[in-house]
Amino acid sequence: MHRLIIPVLLLATPALADIRVDFDEGAPKDRFTILNTGDCALNGATVTVDLGGSAGKLIFDVTGSGAGIEVFQPFEAVSGADLLTALPAVGDGDTALSLTLRSLAPGDRVAFTIDVDDTTSGYGIMVSGSEITGASVRVDAGGTISEGRFGRDAVARVTMAPCTS
């Protein structure tokens, strides 16, 4: 009897701390949800949502006067506020905001509401998925910066470097 030994290669895939950011158009508040879809925690990372490159030239509308159109809504953390080091300062007409995370474990999420207006159409208070296309999300995790862009599905995916611990 002959035994055939077949070597099995175990391909190890590195554990990643990937981030997904969903944008949900709502009235009167729009919602962003930041979710750790990876395998390791993000500690002390800064997540920046930058609308500057968006197809609709989007802005944050947080006051009743200024750059926004009609209805406004200030920044409000609605989930995971305890995971933030502080609430961001967002000015009316700003195109970017940054959140510094204490920690974001796998499966954890931070969600916030705010009003987002487009500046390219006659009806700027409603933002479609195609208008957020091109906006970006940057994650700075200890000096390593990773970036993703929103697509027509209003979702940005950021692939991070492998976990270090």
| Rounded CA separation 68/55 (Å) | 17
Mean pLDDT of the chain: 85
Comparing 98 with 120, the larger pLDDT belongs to 98
* Spans of all domains in the chain: 19-158
| 19 closest CA partner among 32, 4, 29, 10 | 32
Distances (CA, A) of 66 to 69, 91, 126, 127: 8, 9, 18, 19
| Tens digits of residue pLDDT in 105-126 | 999 999 999 999 888 765 545 5
| Tens digits of residue pLDDT in 8-18 | 444 455 566 69
- CATH, domain range 19-158: 2.60.40
